[in-house]
Every structure is written in structure tokens, then in C-alpha cells.
Amino acid sequence: MLDFFAIFSKGGIVLWCFQGAGVTEPFSGAINALLRSVILQERSGNNSFTHNALSLKYKLDNEFELVFVVGFQKILTLTYVDKFIDDVQLHFRDRYKNELEKRGALKFLLNHFEFGDDFHILLREAEGSSKAKAPVSMRTFNESQKSQKTVKSMIETKDGDKSKEQVGKKSKNAKKEGEKSESGGDQAKAASKKAVENGNEGLTQEEIIERNRAKFISKQLGGGKPEKSSKSPKPQKPKGKVNRVWDMSGKRIAELDYSGTNGDSSDAQNQDPDATAEPLIQVDSMKGDLRGVDYESSDDEDEEVQEEDKVVVADTNKKGGKKGGFGGMFGMLKGLVGAKNLTQEDMEPVLDKMKDHLIAKNVAAEIASQLCNSVAKKLEGKVMGTFTTVASTVKQALQDSLVQILQPKRRVDILRDVLEARSQRKPFVITFCGVNGVGKSTNLAKISYWLIENGFTVLIAACDTFRAGAVEQLRTHQRRLNSLHPPEKHGGQPAIQLFEKGYGKDAAGIAMEAIAFARNQGFDVVLIDTAGRMQDNAPLMTALAKLIAVNTPDLVLFVGEALVGNEAVDQLVKFNQALADHSKTDKPRLIDGIVLTKFDTIDDKVGAAISMTYITGQPIVFVGTGQTYSDLRSLNARAVVSALMKA
């Protein structure tokens, strides 16, 4: 049933392996793919991996730096694999504990691990426990509880119900009588209260008569209160409607007349002094590689460590204040770990806080969970040093994982690739795709300016034949870029040109004609601007897949904005899925890189960068940080992680 089982160290030394009967293909390719795509990329949140027709399950042993991998056919459903790999790990650790506790990598080379017999015993036990049990035979009618019921028992239950109903009615009547008696008592109490208020309690009949006579005489003499007028006040007349005077009504038309001041310097005086002019673009300021994204990271980490220490001291002072000075010191040391193996229970509260923190920083919820699970598997069973807190250990491991994720598996060097394509006398083709309104055309113009600054000629292919004004927007960018870099600087030829065929045409055909035109005219780079489309729009996604399949660009860039959270995962997954579904080749062309836009609007909520990179495994090639042509940067992984981990 199993194709292979391998036990090897994280340094790459194979300790023991097993290959199933009848399996002739080597399994090294599947394990190497697991190492490249999962373990080295810090994506071990899920313990399963699929490679071609094989399904792999793996288990990390962080205490002895070991990896246990089992592989079987993807079409099989083996329910015992998870428990089986745990049993193998525990049995292997217990048997070779003395050899594994030795220091240095030579312990793996000098020792010989004979684990075949134990492995086969565990495998037989696991397969035997997973065998389906025989179906339980159905009970006969005489064995069921229904056969024991009789007519008499059914009649008794009905009488019992009636008696219960009668008892219920009696209790209800008793309650009503009680309520009536209580209401009668309440009325008597209210009458006594009124008597007390009238002041007659404790007076004799003669005293009451004398008091009433005195009241009557005082009224006759006019000492009583004046009677209130029974007439109601006259209603006030409603106010009439008042005409509203607008700020810029017809009486102030003269203030709106600017015809006499055209061409005079008085306009500059009337302008708002706070209004600032458009910043000037410095030509020849973007030669070479782009600068990384800057982030002002002060000593936040030191402050957080100090705050954690304060919290620990405060808690220990509350708990151990009555035990003298030594109680506070020993209480503070409880928060530290000394030569202890980390467990899931130790890390769970810290990881929950880390997960909430990542979600608050705009990381997709699913990605945040996978990151925390990956850190937990990376640290579980690891021996910690003395005077090391669990929180600081988990935070450092999460930072290392985030930096590893953001650092690309392969470096995309566009300048080098353009020079190589120029040596082969063909243009370097880049296609931009993405959803609506993320800034594809604007960032295409920024990248054009950067390429022109480095001495390349650019041809823009206007393949957005759907949105009104798309061609005019690109023509405006072309005119402005040619004014910044006039043809005199490029041998009398314009540095950038626009290739367009109007609206309503086939985008794939326009791109093909543009590439052929660039090859004939000697352009270095072709930038293909496509229409924005939602990931659920099947016809437009089919058209995009056709454009990429027909023209085979050198680079496919997905343009996404940094403002999205969970939506980034859905966009990238469905874009890649659409490109794979509508491709006619065995190896479809997917997204090669990401352009992250509107990065200057999110402050420290940079989680979209993590979500996009984690889903695709592709690097972020460009970062848009503003609205001018020079506001283009490359990704600085450590600056982004610093902003992400900031409290």
C-alpha cells in the first residue's frame, strides 16, 4: 500500500528508508520537491503534500532535527497514515535515543540504523487496525423494544397524561386564588397608606371636626389658594416661510467673474497658499536597480521586550507580594524556560495572540492560521535555552518564517533579462493582468519610465479594448514620458511608443501584432496592458488565458493593491486556476510575479504582501508607493516584516 517511507535529518543525511514492493521509480524527486516547496519555504502548516501522482505525509522532529516522510498513491485513501507516522517517530526515537543525543552531524554517519523489522511490525498493526469491521446483523422484532410494548401499557400512559393535565389545572386554579388573595391584601395596604397621607391616623372625631372648621374659615376669609383658570392658552400662530439666501446667489455674481483677470498675476495671489504644486520629477534618478521599500522602524522590539518584562514583574508582584523579596524573584523566573522541550500547550496562548495580530495587519485569516501552525510544528519538541521566554521564541520564529516567505525562490532581474533578449534580437515581453481599478495602467507607466531611465526603448500595447478611455490614458502617459525623455537623447527616435488598434478588437491579436512590430522596429521591451477583470468573470478570464497562451510573454505580472485582505487569496487562486484551466498545454503558464500597488496608503498594515506571496510562491517584483513616475520601489522583506510585527 505504501510506496516509500524515509527518515532523514534536516541536514540531508538519510538514516533509513523503505520502498514498497513493485515500486521501481525513485522517490528522491518527490522528497526534493517537498523540501523545496514546503520545508525550506516555511509552509509546514499542513502536514500533507502532493507531487504528481503521489501524496506525501511528513512529520518534523525538532528535538533531534529529523524528518519522517511517507508516500503513497494519491488515489488511495489510507486512514491509518497519520497515526502510523506518529508511531514510527516515537518508536524510532525511543530505540535510538542514545545515538541521537550525541552532538554533531557525525552521529548520523557513524551509526547504523537497522529499523526494518520494527517498521514492518508497526505497519502490519496499523493496516490490521484499519480493516473494516464486519457489518452488524440487524436485530429481530422480538429483540427490539417495540415488541415489548402492549395495549395496556399504552392505555396507562394516556391515563397518566390525563391525570397530569388535571393536576396541572388544579395547580393553575390554586395559583389564581392565591393571586386574588394577594391583590386583596395589596388593596388594604394601599387604603391604609392613603389614610396615613391624609393625616387622620391617631386623631379623635372631635379633633378632626375642629380641624375641618378651621380649614373652612380660612377659605371664607380668602386665605386659600387661587383657583387655576380652566381656559387653555391660545395657540401661537405658525411662522411664515422664510426665503433662504444661498452663499453664491445672484447678488454675488460679480465674485464669480474671472474674465477680467485672465493672464494677470492676481490669480496667483488669489490661490490657496496651502495648495502645493505637483512635485517635479528628477530625470536620470532611477538608473540601475530600484531602491527597496523604506520603513521607519525604531526600537520597537526593545520596547516590546521591556513591556513583556514589566508585565511579568507586575504579575509576580501581585502573586508573591506576601512572600517577601524572594517570592517576587522566583515568580518572575516562572515566565522563563530553562532546558525545556516546548509543547503545543506552551505555545497556544502566544500563537493565538500572534494570529489575531496578523489578521489585524491585513493578513488573510486562512494564511494567518497556516503560518501559526507552521511555527508550532517548527518549534514543537525543540529544547529552549535558559532565560528565554516562550513569547520571544515564538515571535522570533515567526519573523524568520515571514522573511523566508517574502524572499523569492528565484530572483527576477528584469534589466538582465532585457539585455539578454536584446542580444538575441528579440523584445522582452511583459503582460500585466489583475482586477478592476488596482492601477495596472499607472504602474505600467512607472515601469516604462524606469526602463527608459536605464536606456531601453519601450512599446506599449493597448490591449484594454473594453474600458472607455483606456487608450487615451496610455497616450497621455506616452506624451508625458516623451517630454521627459525627448527623442534627441535617444538618437532622434522616441523612447516610448503606443501600439493601439482602437476599441472592441481582439486583445490577443493586438498583442501579437505589437510583438511583431517591436521585433521589426528594434524595440527592447513590450509592455502589454490588459483589461481589468474580476476573477469570477469566465469569458474575460478565458480571453486572458488565450492572450497569454498565444503570445507566450516572458513575464506575467499580477497587479494587486495592498488594501485587500482575504480577497487577495481568492483573486490569485482563481486567476491561476483560470490560466491553468483554459491552457491547452500540459504545463500551463501561470503568474510569474506580483506588482503591489497603493503601498503608501496602508501605513503598517502590510499583510497583503504576505498573503499574495504565500499563495503563489512567486516574488513581489515591484511596489507602487505614490502617483508620480518615480514612485516605484522593490520589496524589502525585512522592512515589511518589521512593519508587520509592530504592535
Quote the pLDDT of residue 315. Answer: 41
Answer whether residue 191 shows pLDDT above 60.
Answer: no
Lowest mean pLDDT among 125-129, 273-277, 344-348, 530-534: 273-277
pLDDT bucket at 578, cuts 50 / 70 / 90: confident
Fold (topology level) of 4-129 = Beta-Lactamase (3.30.450)
Portion of the chain with pLDDT greater than 70, in percent: 72
Could you give the CA distance from residue 402 to residue 633 in angstroms, rounded to a whole number? Answer: 20
Quote the pLDDT of residue 444. Answer: 94
Phi, psi dihedrals of residue 500, rounded to the nearest 5°: -145, 150
Q: How many angstroms separate the most distant Cα atoms in the chain?
A: 131
Higher per-residue pLDDT: 639 or 242: 639
Mean pLDDT of the chain: 77
Q: What digits encode the pLDDT tens for the residues 34-53? A: 888 887 777 766 778 888 88
Q: Evaluate whether 380 touches 59 at the Cβ level (below 8 Å).
A: no
Could you give the CA distance from residue 620 to residue 603 in angstroms, rounded to a whole number? Answer: 18
Phi, psi dihedrals of residue 624, rounded to the nearest 5°: -90, 125
Quote the pLDDT of residue 116. Answer: 86
Reference 500, options 447, 550, 460; nearest CA is 460
Residue type, 100: L
Quote the pLDDT of residue 278. Answer: 43
pLDDT bucket at 251, cuts 50 / 70 / 90: low
Mean local confidence (pLDDT), 400-423: 87
pLDDT bucket at 632, cuts 50 / 70 / 90: very high
pTM: 0.64
Quote the pLDDT of residue 311. Answer: 39
Quote the pLDDT of residue 35. Answer: 83
Quote the pLDDT of residue 604. Answer: 82
Pure H helices in 35-150:
81-95, 97-100, 106-110, 116-129
Quote the pLDDT of residue 460. Answer: 95
Q: Which three cell numbers stand for residue 117?
A: 523489522
Mean local confidence (pLDDT), 233-257: 63
Q: What digits encode the pLDDT tens for the residues 51-107? A: 888 888 888 887 888 889 999 988 888 888 888 898 898 898 888 888 787 766 666
Phi, psi dihedrals of residue 263, rounded to the nearest 5°: 85, -10
Could you give the CA distance from residue 57 to residue 50 in angstroms, rounded to a whole number? Answer: 9
Quote the pLDDT of residue 162. Answer: 46
Residue 435: count of CB within 10 angstroms of its CB: 19
* Strand bridging mode 458-462 / 496-499: parallel
pLDDT bucket at 554, cuts 50 / 70 / 90: very high
Name the helix (H) or strand (E) containing 292: none
Q: Which three cell numbers stand for residue 157?
A: 400512559
Q: What digits encode the pLDDT tens for the residues 267-315? A: 434 444 443 334 556 676 778 888 877 765 444 444 444 444 443 333 4
Q: What residue has cell string 506575467?
A: 556
pLDDT bucket at 216, cuts 50 / 70 / 90: confident
Q: Which of 156-160, 187-191, 211-215, 227-231 has the highest mean pLDDT?
A: 211-215
pLDDT bucket at 331, cuts 50 / 70 / 90: very low
Phi, psi dihedrals of residue 254, rounded to the nearest 5°: -65, -30
Q: Which three cell numbers stand for residue 598?
A: 497603493
**Between the CA of residue 332 and those of 304, 323, 337, 520, what are the distances in Å?**
17, 13, 11, 75
Higher per-residue pLDDT: 586 or 52: 52
Answer whether residue 509 shows pLDDT above 50.
Answer: yes
Quote the pLDDT of residue 601. Answer: 87
Q: Which three cell numbers stand for residue 534?
A: 474580476
Reference 620, options 635, 605, 631; nearest CA is 635
Mean local confidence (pLDDT), 127-141: 71
Query: What are 529's strand-pairing partners?
Result: 432, 462
CATH number for the region 414-636 comes to 3.40.50.300
Lowest mean pLDDT among 58-62, 100-104, 379-383, 613-617: 100-104
Answer whether residue 419 shows pLDDT above 60.
Answer: yes
Quote the pLDDT of residue 304. Answer: 47
Quote the pLDDT of residue 140. Answer: 81
Lowest mean pLDDT among 280-289, 444-453, 520-529: 280-289
Higher per-residue pLDDT: 560 or 172: 560
Quote the pLDDT of residue 428. Answer: 95
Higher per-residue pLDDT: 251 or 412: 412
Lowest mean pLDDT among 203-207, 370-374, 485-489, 556-560: 203-207
Q: Which three cell numbers stand for residue 465?
A: 479594448
Answer whether residue 526 shows pLDDT above 90.
Answer: yes
User: How many degrees, rounded to 5, is the angle at CA 577 between CA 573 and CA 579?
Assistant: 120
DSSP three-state, residue 208: helix
Q: Which of 26-40, 278-292, 374-388, 512-526 has the highest mean pLDDT?
A: 512-526
Lowest mean pLDDT among 19-28, 370-379, 446-455: 19-28
Q: Which of 78-92, 178-192, 315-329, 441-455 has the highest mean pLDDT?
A: 441-455
Q: Check if 4-129 and 414-636 are the same fold.
A: no
Q: Where exactly are the structural domains of the chain?
A: 4-129, 341-406, 414-636
DSSP result, 129-195:
HTSPPPPPPPPPTTTSSGGG--HHHHHHHHHHHHHHHHHHHHHHHHHHHHHHHHHHHHHHHHHHHHH
